[in-house]
Structure 1
Amino acid sequence: MEQRNYKNAQTFGYTKDVLPTLKNNRTWTIRNYSTVWIGSVHNIPNYLTVGGLLTLGLSVMQVFFAIISASIILAAVMILNGHAGSKYGLPFSMLLRSSYGHNGALIMGVMRGIIAAIMWFGLQTFAGSQALLILIGKTWPPFLQLGGAWQLLGLSLPQLISFILFWCLNIAFIFGGMSLLSKFSNVLSPLVYLVFGGMTIWAIQLAGGIGPIIHHQGSEPNLNELVLLLSAITAILAAWAAPMVSISDFTRMARSQKDQAIGQALGLIIPYILFAFSSISIIIGSEIAFGTPIWNVLDVINRFDNEFAIGLAVLTLCLTTVSVNVTGNIIPAGYQLAALFPKRLNLSSGAMIAAVLGIIIMPWKLMENAGSILIFLNSIGAILGPLTGVMLAHYFIIARTEIDLNALYSKSETYHYLNGFNVKALISTGAAGTLCLLGQFIGFFNPLYQISWIAGTGMAAALYILFELPNLSSSNHQHM
């Protein structure tokens, strides 16, 4: 049956990259999934997020609680939204059709696979290039003086060179494929624990022990405490808003449902427990030691007095940032562009186009201060949270995990809805997202904006199920 679906799909002009993965090509095990996200946990924007949360006035224990809570929710959503990929071998761009329709999927795919992915790709690339700049500057100090006061669009010559070099490093993984990414993750994992474990010990020693870190008092909170705590959880989840939507691009490689479920639970919750301990210790410990808040982990590393330690820490951050950039941004963008233009683009060419666009958006503007990263995360959460809510509601409640692959890849009426658009899904997504985004400009809706991913996901799912209640009641009556 599966082989027949594969051949039928080919007759409609699809490239191999967007066809269902055949059973004998699904080779990812628990080990693959338990290591692939480690770099995505320990990367520069995640440390920036924790720094931003601490500047809001959250206590150390509140931030720790928020990180652990977010990791459990994250693992659950990744496993659930990855179910269809594992069961059918479907990439995200095609799975999207089942809930939004053939044409509606293009709109939602552009939001995730192009807009969000390109924004994230640009941000991660600039963050990694800043780490690379430190590494080059420590090994060759004159590099930092190249070009003098010359700037291009806000970047000095050393920053521009570092950005281009790091961009090229990301591009190399496009052509290396998923097998190279899997091998890279296996090598990166022990290095992450070594480096960040060492940084944590260093920060605790600087602070005079773990006690001063735990009892550290930050600034006064500027929001209701519950909203503040939920906004912290949202910020962490929003950093994963894009991968949560398109996780089927990775679970389509799973050997079994058990492999992806156990692997992702282990690969997200355990690293996040360690991340919570290390990130808080590093940021607060350095603040205590140096007497000033340091929200950017790169500024912390730059204060090390050991050249080898700086080099190893920066190299690891560069590699973890490449890992998350490839897994969470460039591969989904490539798949989505290939799905939009199946006869002209494949994964590699689509990813290259996305990578070029990631430069054009000038991503360095997203890392100007601690507040800018949180504004970015809340906006991403408002855009992609509702998409996740509708996908989960449709697959588990409306479709009951059943997808007709032949209909999905053909012009069948099953997923055609109204002229190719599932209007109920689109209205649910648009309404939830709009209400969350309004909170940035209208005070009454601000609490929704502060918890944009949680609010958007919940509202969109509830609204979509409400729209589908007549069909659900009819279906239940037929089964009785």
Structure 2
Amino acid sequence: MIPSDLQARGYSPGLTNPDLAPTTPAQRTWGAFSIFNVWTSDVHSLWGYYLAASLFLLCGSFLNFILAIGIGSLAIYVLMTMVGLAGVRTGVPFPVLARASFGVWGANFPALVRAIVACFWYGAQTAAASGAIVALLTRSPDLLAFHKNVHLLGHSALEVICYVVVWALQLLIIQRGMETVRRFQDWAGPGVWLAMLVLAIGLVVKAGSFSFDSRIPTDVLLEKTKDAGVPGTPGSFGSLAAVAAVWITYFAALYLNFCDFTRYAKDEAAVKKGNLWGLPVNLLLFSLVAGVTTLAAFKVYGEVLIHPDQISAKFDSWVLAAIAALTFAIATLGINVVANFVSPAFDISNVFPKHISFKQGGYIAALIALVLYPFAPWEGSAASFVGAIGSTMGPLFGVIMVDYYLIARGRIDVDALYRENGRYRFQGGWNVKALVAAGIGIVFSTLLPNFTDLLPTWWGLYGWFFGVAIGGACYWGLRMLPEVDPELTRQA
């Protein structure tokens, strides 16, 4: 049963539950600092560091790195603000906002696509966090022997145990709902900043000196980046363009569901201010520290180490190694809860609102991530994984943003989003035009570049962008076509 106040507003039980309902003034407690910490939680993780360090290798120099990451970060800020404002203005989560574009039932398509992507990322981030713990534990000779000699599900038994423990710990965080998520991220994100700085400063001191003009030898960079799938040599225009593109694509999932968080914001100013400090400013500083750490580690150890746990494993001090491993693991739990639990929790709940709550939807997503672990689809090149998994969501973002800003002009009938027979019913609850446009975009962003040889090899790196452009343009064109059925015209 839905609450009586929602029933009085004509909300349909098949589209509503308390978690999906619009936020009330009492729930809008997130200020700029909380929005800022959405980004510290999202970026300050083992995967975020791994990606930044990997992209640093493709740039060849610090100046190139800052230019490519800076341009990408400004684009991310603009895109996140666009979708964030939609969330604070309507107070609804992503799958409900998508009803305005795809129809009250058709919105389940983008919601489930986003949920599936979140399950992949949930597994990838959990594996990264557990990997940090494994790196710490294998400092013990006995555990190292256990790690090498005992295997289960295609992994070492120690890796499996750590994965399951970390996986279970994340479920405890969300027991009390979104307010607990906010409190957790408010200290987890800044915590890893401290660990990152300690790691960078410690390595610079150990190296004896540091200069931004220092470089890793070209032959080493070529060897380390040969399987990245990026055209050109490190530092070339093609590589720099690919770095900016991959950095933007890394956030593809949150472009869709950032409104899951901004619906709790106090006002638009909080979203804009939090995004400003959390995206271009924070992203640049985090990437700079990742670059400094990578370069200093090469100078100290003579190796290219792009995983923080690889660096912490080399520390002489058990205490320092433990602090580094645990801090990065906790930070990675932060991003998993923020980016990869909240979204599928809302998305899966949206499919069966009467039977699945926010928490139950999240549990289902976590279970899928557990099942994926033996297959580990996230292992391999960071750039390739980010591009392949992010490209699928480009067309969905293109359709929703074109619909919200160009067709609806930012005006959404929030109550109609919860009514089966309201203005967003379209064709029996499905907006066929949106589905066709998204389908065409997915063909060119995901299917053709990843499963055929019909397109150039570099196309996949920019798959998300092609998806946004093609999906959005097709939707605009289809909506501009004259309607044949006057009843459909009235509903649309």
TM > 0.5 fold call: yes
- The residue type equivalent to 1:469 in the other structure is M
- The residue type equivalent to 2:449 in the other structure is G
Residues 1:315 and 2:316 aligned together: no
1:44 paired residue number: 46
2:126 paired residue number: 125
1:178 paired residue number: 178
CA contact (8 A) 2:58 2:240 kept: no
CA distance in 2, matches of 1:68, 1:127: 26
1:86 paired residue number: 88
Report how far residue 287 of structure 1 moved.
2.1
2:425 paired residue number: 416
Provide the secondary structure at the position in 2 that maps to 1:452: helix
Number of residue pairs aligned between Structure 1 and Structure 2: 466
CA distance in 1, matches of 2:215, 2:393: 36
CA contact (8 A) 1:101 1:416 kept: yes
The 5 A counterparts of 1:56-71 are 56=58, 58-71=60-73
- The residue type equivalent to 1:116 in the other structure is V
TM-score, length-normalised on structure 1? 0.90
The 5 A counterparts of 1:132-143 are 132-138=133-139, 142-143=142-143
Residue 72 of structure 1: which of 74, 94, 114 is its match? 74
Residue by residue, what CA displacement relative to the aligned partner does 1:81-110 show, whole Å, maximum 9, x if unpaired? 122211121011111111111232111111
Consecutive unaligned residues of structure 1, counting only runs of 5 or more, are: 473-480
CA distance in 2, matches of 1:281, 1:197: 10
The 5 A counterparts of 1:9-408 are 10-13=11-14, 14-56=16-58, 58-113=60-115, 115-138=116-139, 142-146=142-146, 149-211=149-211, 214-218=214-218, 219-220=221-222, 223-224=231-232, 225-362=236-373, 365-369=376-380, 371=381, 373-408=382-417
1:476 paired residue number: none
- The residue type equivalent to 1:462 in the other structure is A
CA distance in 1, matches of 2:207, 2:147: 39
Report how far residue 413 of structure 1 moved.
4.8
TM-score, length-normalised on structure 2? 0.88
| Percentage of pairs with the same residue | 26
CA contact (8 A) 2:191 2:327 kept: yes
Residue by residue, what CA displacement relative to the aligned partner does 1:121-167 show, whole Å, maximum 9, x if unpaired? 011111111112233445x6533433762312212111111111100
2:486 paired residue number: none
Over 3 Å counting, the alpha-carbon distance change for 1:420 and 1:233 in structure 2 is same
CA distance in 1, matches of 2:141, 2:216: 36
2:487 paired residue number: none
CA distance in 2, matches of 1:253, 1:76: 20
- The residue type equivalent to 2:166 in the other structure is F
CA contact (8 A) 1:123 1:363 kept: no
Mean CA deviation greater in 461-470 or 313-322 = 461-470
Residue by residue, what CA displacement relative to the aligned partner does 1:33-92 show, whole Å, maximum 9, x if unpaired? 122321211111112213333454644432332222222221221111122211121011
Residue by residue, what CA displacement relative to the aligned partner does 1:276-303 show, whole Å, maximum 9, x if unpaired? 1111111222123322322322212211
| Structure richer in helix, relative to its length | 1
